[in-house]
Structure formats: structure tokens, C-alpha cells
Structure 1
Amino acid sequence: MRSLAITLAIALAGVSAVPAAAQDAAAQDNTPQGTTIIVRPPLTEDERKQELREFTKQIVRPPRMRHPVAKFFYPICPQVLGLAPEEAEAIVERIRENARALSVGANTDPACLPTVKVAFMAPAAGPSDRWLTADSAQLAHLAIYERERVLAETGPVRAWNRVLMRDFNGEPIEVGRMIFIEPYNRNDPIVTTEITGAAVLIAREAAEGFTLAQLADYITMRALIGTGAPLSEEGVPARTILTLFDEPDPPAEMTLFDRSLVAEIYNASRNSSPRRVYNDIARAAAESERITGAEPEAPKR
């Protein structure tokens, strides 16, 4: 009888302990009553590729109709102004290393003509929205819509590319000139678009606190391709150095996605259609995630 009583007491104690633990867990749960929590399964490989493709289209400035994505045709020659000489040279060398690794190429001749010009703007230059106007000589070579795009940019950076259109034979196309050359392939444009120069202006105060590698990698992405900072109000589906001035915890260097983006554009033929290039970027980025075992990060909010 005594044994049965002890057993019963233990059983009752166990039963009473469950509600107590549940109450403690409920007390720690800050989820408001009535909140619906939706658990979504991970994206399939095809869904992830589509997500990365749409993200690529968001940050790569769209080319004109029937034009390929613009890129440099020749090795770049970077120049950095507005910093101490040793800091400027470190950034220049990092940009060169990136360009070589990403199949762009870099001119190492000390006397080369700068094709990527970077300026860290002193506070005396005023806020970034006063650096340029529609009448600025620096933007005179841009089309009106390109000029408006630069002037509409917000934040501590302004960047643009000088682009030259060439016909199927590689000859420069003058503004207003009509061309009547049939394409070899209906899916690819009949012209090429060459970046002949890039400029990146960065507020020097905004650059404080970042490593020289972070700044160089950011400049690489803004200069080698016509890119803009992604819209991050609802988060971004892939980590990118392009969020350097927007995220509280940005990447320490160019990410897998960044390198896939640049490499695929520069490995593509000069007249590949944007659609084909975007697909290749998404495929390469998704494959890199799979090989490295990297999990796509949840959007940062």
C-alpha cells in the first residue's frame, strides 16, 4: 500500500509539473495573441534561381531595348583621389585584383589613362545632393535619362558609366544614326555597348568605419557594371556589398552573389541578350550556394 501511494504521488507530481512548464513557456512567448505564424518550406532550386534573377534585374541598370548589358572591353585603369596616398593605393590595388579575378583585366602601367575614377568628397563639397546638377560638365556626355538616374540617387554615393554603342562590325554608332544590319541570332542584340569610363563619388565622412577592402569591393561593383544600391526596405534575397551604406552589418567583402554577377557578365559574349545574362547569373549564384553549402539568408528588415 505504501509503495502504491508513493507511485501515485510521483505520478500526480508529474502531471502537475506539465501545466507549470507550459505556463512558464507561455510567459516567455512574446507572440501577441491572435498572431498567425506561417512556416514556409525552403525554395526549390528553380524558385531560388528565379528569385536571384529578379534580384539581378533590380540592381543592374537596365540597358536600352535590344542592347546588351554594358561592360568594359579593355583592362581598366583605376584612380582614387581624396584619401591619403597609401590608402588610395591600397584601394586601387584591390580594385585591380578584383578586375583580374573577374575576367575584366587591369592595366598596371603607372602612366595609364584612368578609366575608373573615384573621388572621396570632403565635407567642404557639401551634401551629396549638391555635388551634381543637370548642367554639371561631368554628366554632359550622358543621355537625359541617364543623367536623371544619377541625380535621383540617394545616399552618400553617386556613380555613373560612360557607354559607347558599337554596331555589329565594332564601329561606334553616332547618336541618331540608323543601322540596318540583320542579327545572326534573333535572341541576341545586333549592337554592343562598351563602358569606356566610370566615375564613383563617395562622401568621405560616410566612408569612415569601413575597411579599405569593403570600399574597394563596393567601388568595383559600382564601376565595372552599371549598378545601383538594391532596395532594402523589405530585405534582399542575397548578401551583396552593394548594401554597404544601407545595412547595419554589411558584408566584409564581395559576396558569392557579387562575384557571380560580375563574372557572368564579363564571361558572356559582347552581344549576349540581357535575358540570357540574367539567367546565367542566377544559375551561377545558385550553384555557388549549393557547392559551398551556403544557406540563402533571410531578408533583413
Structure 2
Amino acid sequence: MRGFQASFAVVATITLAFGGTAHAQDDQADDGDIDETIIVDGELPDEDEVSDAARNLTQGAIGMTSPIIRYYDPLCVQVLGVNERFAEYVRNRVIANAREAAMPVAEGDCEANGIILVGQEPRELYDALIDYNPRTVSPRSSSRVRREMSAGEPAIVWHVLEPRDNAGINPLPPGWQTTIVPSRTRPAYVVAAKLGVVILDADHLVGMDLERLSDYATMRLLAPRLIPNRYEIEEPRSIIYPFEPDLGEGEMTRFDRAYLSALYSMQPQAPANRLPVAVARAFEAEE
């Protein structure tokens, strides 16, 4: 995506006016360390509440042969639209969150498969990205993305998905549908997130800290099935909803970390309907 960076600068070169905490954290921009301290007030939600929340976030009921959707390739993150120091902070924090979830991370020079764009005109960012490479969004995602942009959503997110073999490594060849034998108890193939894009509306971020931006982008990028506008459960709390300057969580919660930990610890051929229970178990195991 290096060639896109130059054209992107013409479309949206901005410096965000983040809140005071972001400026106070400037000295951490180089190391990407995360404070893992979790403060809990009151009683924790029980196992049923946690699994119900996970099920609600993953499009409700999912058939036993629906595959989980996640990254299988090492993550390579690119952040555009904020100044270089802030971009490095966001990138490092997303990567640290990914490593905590035991997700593979690319080392050294790599081709970006996780892109975070920040700008005041999301539609212009989207159009610039598609002009640069039309394959960065599928026709199916395009219609949904345009609806969400028209509705003024603060975050526009999509993933380019790819069917793969049982290990999640090799893409399936053309005509693979005729060679796969359906199963009644598990997915017949693996679905990989080949690329993920998160576009954040800069006007919506005023007053938010970089920690919150980074953690929100982490969840939207690494967990493709999440649909935050359907998240209407008060407990357990999540970074992804509500995503408002004066409302919501300031960093990833115990539930969020459990969600990613469960998702990236499941076997490639595990059915998606097992994820809510796995999230509840991971939540319970958190110290």
C-alpha cells in the first residue's frame, strides 16, 4: 500500500485535535506498551450474559457449519491520516493488542493487510482507496459501506474475505465449491480475512484519546463479524459501543480481550456458533 500513501496525502492530510490524555501519552508513542490493569466495579456478568453478548455481536444465531472469520496471515498494520508520531502510537497499540490475543504479527517490511484511515471526509478516503486498488473492497461490501457513509456512521469497516483450505493457509482454487464435501457438524472450509479496512471520521473523534481510537480500531479490524450498532446490552461493557466522545469505554474491556483471545485460539475449522461459549470461558479465565 506504499503507493496509496502519496495519493492519500493529497485527499486528506490532517492533524487531529485529540484530548489532553493523548498529548500526555506522546512519550509512549515509540514503545506501544499497554497498561493491562483492569478495574472492575460491582459484580461481573455471569457466563450466560457474556455468551449472549458475544452472540449478539456476531450476527445472532449462526449455524453449526458457518466458519469463524478471522485473520490467518500475520498482521501488518498501516495507519494514515494522523501525524507520523500519532500513527506510530496507534499502530504499536493495535499490534500489542493483537499479540496479546496470540494473533500472528508480521515482522519488518510487510504488505499492509490491516489499514486504518482517519479523515474528515470518509467518502473521499473510500473513493481514493478504491481508485488506487478496486480489489480492496468486494461488490457485496461496497453497497453496505456506501449506505453506512450516507447514514453518517463514525466508523466504516469492511474486510476482503477469502475461502481457504482447512489450515487457513492456501486459497481454494476456482471451482472449489464443486469439490468440497458438505458436513453436518463443522464448516467444510475456512474463511480468512485477507484485508481489513477501518475508516474513522475525524470529526467524530474530537475529544477522544489515542488509546480509545487504537483499541476501537483493534476490535473492528481483528474481529470481522462484529456489528456494534446491534450491541444493546449494558453488561458486559465493550469498547465498540457506544462509540461517542462523552460515552462508552476508554479502552478495551475484559470482554473485548476475552472475545479476541477466544477467536484467535479456536481451531480453523471450528464452527462460529462455538465462539460465544469460548468467549465466556475466556472471560472467566481473565484475572
Q: Cα distance 1:229–1:165, how it changes in 2: closer, same or farther (>3 A)?
A: same
Give, in angstroms, the shift of residue 204 of structure 1. 1.2
Structure-1 residue corresponding to 2:141: 146
TM (norm. structure 1) is 0.68
Aligned counterparts, 1:179-258, within 5 A:
179-182=178-181, 186-226=184-224, 227-231=226-230, 235-243=233-241, 245-246=243-244, 248-258=246-256
User: Helix, strand or coil: the match of 2:66?
Assistant: coil
1:193-246 CA distances to partner (integer Å, 9 max, x unpaired)? Answer: 1111110000112112111111111101000111222435x5432110102524
Counterpart of 2:68 in structure 1: which amino acid? V
Q: 1:120 aligns with which of 118, 121, 144?
A: 118
Structure-2 residue corresponding to 1:33: none
1:35-72 CA distances to partner (integer Å, 9 max, x unpaired)? Answer: xxxxxxxx998xx3333223212223577983312111
Q: Cα distance 1:82–1:141, how it changes in 2: closer, same or farther (>3 A)?
A: closer
Which structure has more relative contact order (CA 8 Å, sep 6+)? It is 2
CA distance in 1, matches of 2:98, 2:44: 33
CA distance in 1, matches of 2:78, 2:249: 24
Structure-2 residue corresponding to 1:79: 78
Counterpart of 1:79 in structure 2: which amino acid? Q
CA distance in 2, matches of 1:103, 1:230: 27
Structure-2 residue corresponding to 1:37: none
Q: Cα distance 1:192–1:114, how it changes in 2: closer, same or farther (>3 A)?
A: same
CA distance in 2, matches of 1:65, 1:174: 24
Counterpart of 1:51 in structure 2: which amino acid? E
1:71-110 CA distances to partner (integer Å, 9 max, x unpaired)? Answer: 111221111111011001100011111111111122231x
Contact 1:102 1:263 in 2 (8 A): yes
User: Helix, strand or coil: the match of 2:200?
Assistant: strand
TM (norm. structure 2) is 0.71
CA distance in 2, matches of 1:209, 1:120: 15
Q: Cα distance 1:94–1:140, how it changes in 2: closer, same or farther (>3 A)?
A: same
CA distance in 1, matches of 2:197, 2:235: 27
Structure-1 residue corresponding to 2:31: none
User: Helix, strand or coil: the match of 2:264?
Assistant: helix
Q: Cα distance 1:218–1:44, how it changes in 2: closer, same or farther (>3 A)?
A: closer
Contact 1:218 1:244 in 2 (8 A): no
Counterpart of 1:188 in structure 2: which amino acid? R
Contact 2:205 2:245 in 1 (8 A): no
Structure-2 residue corresponding to 1:107: 106
Q: 1:58 aligns with which of 56, 62, 67?
A: 56
Structure-1 residue corresponding to 2:171: 172
Counterpart of 1:160 in structure 2: which amino acid? W
User: Helix, strand or coil: the match of 1:202?
Assistant: strand
CA distance in 1, matches of 2:218, 2:240: 10
Structure-2 residue corresponding to 1:67: 66
Percent of matched pairs sharing the same residue: 23
User: Helix, strand or coil: the match of 1:243?
Assistant: coil
Where do 5+ consecutive residues of structure 2 fail to align? 1-42
User: Helix, strand or coil: the match of 1:113?
Assistant: coil
CA distance in 1, matches of 2:261, 2:203: 31
Counterpart of 1:216 in structure 2: which amino acid? S
CA distance in 2, matches of 1:223, 1:262: 11
CA distance in 2, matches of 1:132, 1:163: 18
Give, in angstroms, the shift of residue 250 of structure 1. 1.8
CA distance in 2, matches of 1:106, 1:121: 26
CA distance in 1, matches of 2:162, 2:276: 21
User: Helix, strand or coil: the match of 1:219?
Assistant: helix
Where do 5+ consecutive residues of structure 1 fail to align? 1-42, 293-301
CA distance in 2, matches of 1:260, 1:72: 17
CA distance in 1, matches of 2:212, 2:166: 38
Counterpart of 1:69 in structure 2: which amino acid? I
Q: Cα distance 1:117–1:141, how it changes in 2: closer, same or farther (>3 A)?
A: closer
Give, in angstroms, the shift of residue 187 of structure 1. 2.3
1:279 aligns to 2:277 (yes or no): yes
1:255-293 CA distances to partner (integer Å, 9 max, x unpaired)? Answer: 0100110110100001100111221112322454xxx5x
Q: Cα distance 1:246–1:255, how it changes in 2: closer, same or farther (>3 A)?
A: same
